[in-house]
């Protein structure tokens, strides 16, 4: 929920990827206007190609970034399912996002609008402003968290090579065995590539 709140209140405009009628990926900027415990909400107009793409596939992915430059930024990426819930929620979205009255100033102009709920998805939080970096996975609406990254297995001989090639210094040793601090890991794969014993495996 913290991530959903951050998307609405801090990022707000995200770039959403969908699939078009030729099965090609396409992106557009969309405002994520509200959230609750396990959903996000946005609106669009029924005449847009974006609307047709959502209706056809019901799936989307997006990334939003907040920060002044790369090293001060937090990115949140989400892969999810979305469904149209109609106009019941429209008034609330306008009240919470009053700038929308400038774009659609009167009742008639709002006729084409409809609301979508992003109701099930998984995502990743990636904070480059921290040193070492911080990342985390999350899921909402009964989706499962996707397993990504690397982990050290029982085959570890404690040689220390992985630690020497880790750019984030996020490998430590517990009882002479390497352990990756997952929340600080870039998923760069250096440790995986350099371990002479094949003791590091890809998760998922």
Ligand X SMILES: Cc1cc2nc3c(=O)[nH]c(=O)nc-3n(C[C@H](O)[C@H](O)[C@H](O)COP(=O)(O)O)c2cc1C
Using CB under 6 A, which of 28, 75, 85, 186 touches ligand X? 28
CA dist., res. 107 & res. 21, Å (int)? 32
185 binds ligand SF4 (CB under 6 A): yes
Nearer to ligand X, 50 or 192 (CB): 50
CA dist., res. 129 & res. 120, Å (int)? 28
Binding region for ligand SF4 (CB under 6 A) out of 74-82, 104-112, 122-130, 194-202:
194-202
Minimum Å gap between C-beta 63 and ligand X is 14
Could you say which of ligand X, ligand SF4, none residue 86 binds, taking C-beta under 5 to 8 angstroms by partner kind? none
Nearer to ligand SF4, 27 or 148 (CB): 148
Greatest distance between any 2 Cα atoms in the chain: 70
CB 77 within 8 A of CB 33: no
| Residue whose pair of structure tokens reads 């371990």 in the numeric block | 195
170 binds ligand SF4 (CB under 6 A): yes
128 binds ligand SF4 (CB under 6 A): no
What's the token pair of residue 65? Answer: 């970034």
Q: What is the sign, positive or negative, of the torsion defined by CA atoms of 167, 169, 170, 175? A: positive
């Amino acid at each position: 929920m913290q991530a959903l709140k951050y998307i609405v209140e801090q990022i707000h405009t995200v770039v959403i990827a969908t699939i078009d009628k030729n099965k090609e990926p396409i992106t557009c900027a969309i405002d994520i206007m509200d959230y609750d415990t396990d959903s996000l909400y946005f609106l669009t107009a029924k005449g847009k190609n974006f609307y047709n793409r959502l209706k056809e596939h019901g799936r989307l992915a997006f990334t939003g970034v907040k920060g002044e430059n790369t090293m001060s930024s937090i990115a949140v990426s989400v892969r999810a399912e979305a469904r149209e819930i109609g106009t019941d929620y429209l008034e609330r979205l306008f009240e919470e996002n009053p700038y929308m009255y400038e774009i659609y100033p009167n009742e008639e102009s709002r006729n084409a609008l409809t609301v979508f709920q992003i109701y099930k998805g998984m995502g990743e939080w990636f904070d480059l402003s921290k040193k070492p970096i911080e990342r985390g996975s999350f899921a909402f609406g009964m989706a499962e968290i996707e397993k990504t990254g690397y982990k050290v297995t029982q085959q570890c001989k404690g040689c220390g090579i992985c630690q020497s090639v880790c750019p984030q210094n996020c490998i430590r040793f517990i009882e002479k065995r390497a352990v990756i601090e997952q929340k600080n890991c870039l998923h760069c794969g250096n440790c995986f590539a350099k371990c002479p014993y094949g003791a590091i495996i890809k998760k998922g």
